[in-house]
Structure 1
Amino acid sequence: MEALGWWLMLVGSLRLASVWFGFFDIWALRMAVFSKTEMTDVHGRTFGVWTLLTCTLCFLCAFNLENKPLYAATFLSFIYAFGHFLTEYLFYDTMAASNLTTVGIFAGTSIVWMLLQWNAHQPKSITKSD
């Protein structure tokens, strides 16, 4: 497995921990992510399902880096997640800067790395010479 695949496995595992908090420990999720707002159990479960989907994308992409549509969907999941949390911080004031920084480190690294590797995992075409 390539280094990007290992990184995606790490990020997927960290996201999996967030799934646990969303379903079973809403207080910890509130303190770790949305420290400036009230969260209901429904919000926690919604966050858990959304995070489970992005976690699944990370794991699938880690083992299938050559699959361009899956790669693009995983890449976009990082863009969407970071955009969501940035919006929560800038416009709705529901996140602390330290929490956004943590999200930014993982999402930002993933976005940049995946952009740099965008075409690196495509099968090499074999040209037939006449």
Structure 2
Amino acid sequence: MKLLGWWLMLVGTLRLASVWFGFFDIWALRLAVFSKTTMTEVHGRTFGVWTLLTCTLCYLCAFNLDNKPLYLATFLSFIYALGHFLSEFLIYHTMEIRNLMTVGVFAGTSIIWMLLQWNSHQPVKTKSP
């Protein structure tokens, strides 16, 4: 497995903690992510399902880096997540900067790394005689 694949597995595994919090420990999720909002159990479960989907994308992409549509979907999941959390911080003021920085490190690193290796995982095409 390539290094980007290992990174995606790490990010996917770390996201599993957020899934757990979303379903079973809403107050920990509120403190760790959304520090200035009232979060209901429904919000927590919705966040958990959304995070489980992005976690699944990370795992699938880690083992299929040459699958262009899956690579694109995983890449876009990082863009969407970062955009969502940026709006929570800048527009809705429901996040603190320290929480945004944590998200930014993982999403930002993934976005840049995936951009840098955009075509490097494609199978090499050989000319037929």
Q: Which band: TM-score by shorter chain?
A: over 0.9
Query: Normalising to structure 2: TM-score of the pair?
Result: 0.99
Report how far residue 114 of structure 1 moved: 0.2
Q: Aligned Cα RMSD in Å?
A: 0.6
How many Å separate the matches in 2 of 1:76 and 1:41?
A: 27
Q: Distance in 2 between matches of 1:80 and 1:108?
A: 11
Q: Does 1:57 align with 2:69?
A: no
Q: Which residue of 2 aligns with 1:10?
A: 10
Aligned-partner SS, 1:77: helix
In 1, the alpha carbon distance for the partners of 2:61 and 2:126 equals 25
Under a length normalisation based on structure 1, what TM-score does the superposition of the two structures give?
A: 0.98
For 1:94-109, list aligned pairs within 5 A. Answer: 94-109=94-109
Q: What residue is the counterpart of 1:122 in the other structure? A: 122
Distance 1:23 1:41 in 2: 8
Give, in angstroms, the shift of residue 127 of structure 1. Answer: 1.4
Question: Displacement of 1:128 after TM fit?
Answer: 3.2
Q: Which ranges of 4 or more aligned residues in structure 1 deviate by more than 2 Å?
A: none
What residue number does 1:112 align with?
Answer: 112
What are the Cα deviations for residues 30-72 of structure 1, in whole angstroms up to 9, with x where unaligned?
Answer: 0000001110000000000000000000000000000000000
Q: Which ranges in structure 2 are unaligned for 5 or more consecutive residues?
A: none
Q: Which runs of 5+ in 1 are unaligned?
A: none
